[in-house]
Amino acid sequence: ESFFVGDGTFATFREDGLDIHSEKRSVRIPYGELRAFSVCTRKSPRESGEWSIVLEIPSSYLSQEESGVSLVQADDKPRLRAVLARRGIAVLGEPSDGKKGKFKCEKAFYLPNKQKRAGAVFWTVLGALVAVGGVFVGIFWNAAAGGIMGALGVFLLARGIYAFIGARALFAIYEEGIYWRGSQTERVFLKWEEIVRVAAEEKNGFPLLFVQCECGGYRFPRPQGALEAIAEKHPEKSAGGAKQS
């Protein structure tokens, strides 16, 4: 009854509690202080995603200096669910019913990525210069070389324009939840069922949106009007006001 939970660490179910252990240390958590959640990590606004079982344990078992709770994640396997059932630990959260399909977007908010746009402007300017240089080379020196330079310039110019258009983050409100896409690798979709509270925060003067879920929380850049749109759709999940973080 042992399961891999990452970084050379295992969760082993004993008779009187759960052992979180690695080669260096081991701690035991009584079953009465343990909660389990079924979680689907979605990177796109659709039903399908990566399913896991998240174990919530008091942080004090991992460090005496910490409070609150810590999360331990394991792959969602029938064997793990069977062990949890035998130990009398209910699996909370979203049921993995195997549904598929895309979600419906209602409102979209875009935020420019200044760093990426600066890079895109560089490639756009470079492409334009190379393309113009290719024209002069073709006229005054060698037509073949000028043609190659011109083609390269057009390619760089198109690349820069495409990158400039795509250099923006997206925060969207869906009928089924909220979606954040900062880049192709920084994407997450959260369903309303797993969201407990949404609140405004500020950090170093930068507006953030804090999304508290059943297990864990997320912070996203806050587009103007996003919190108000969420409050209109789900007032029970909205917490007004801003606080320093």
For 31-43, how does the pLDDT look when each residue is reduced to its tens digit (9 = 90+)? 989 999 998 889 9
pLDDT over 90 (residue 142): no
Instruction: Answer yes or no: are the C-beta atoms of 133 and 139 closer than 8 Å.
Output: no
Q: Report how far residue 201's alpha carbon sits from residue 210's, in angstroms, rounded to the nearest whole number.
A: 7
pLDDT over 80 (residue 242): no
Q: Report how far residue 61's alpha carbon sits from residue 71's, in angstroms, rounded to the nearest whole number.
A: 12
pTM for the full predicted model? 0.67
> Rounded to whole angstroms, what are the CA distances from 245 to 16, 28, 195, 199, 204?
39, 33, 20, 12, 8
3-class secondary structure, 38: strand
pLDDT over 50 (residue 105): yes
User: Dihedrals φ, ψ of 160, to 5°?
Assistant: -65, -45
Q: Which amino acid is at 123?
A: W
pLDDT over 50 (residue 243): no
Region 131-144 average pLDDT: 80
210 falls in which pLDDT band (50, 70, 90)? very high
82 falls in which pLDDT band (50, 70, 90)? very high
pLDDT at 80: 93
Instruction: List, for residues 56-77, the tens digit of each pLDDT value.
Output: 988 888 777 777 888 888 999 8
Listed range (29-43, 86-100, 149-163) with the worst mean pLDDT: 149-163
Instruction: Answer yes or no: are the C-beta atoms of 213 and 195 closer than 8 Å.
Output: yes
pLDDT at 163: 66
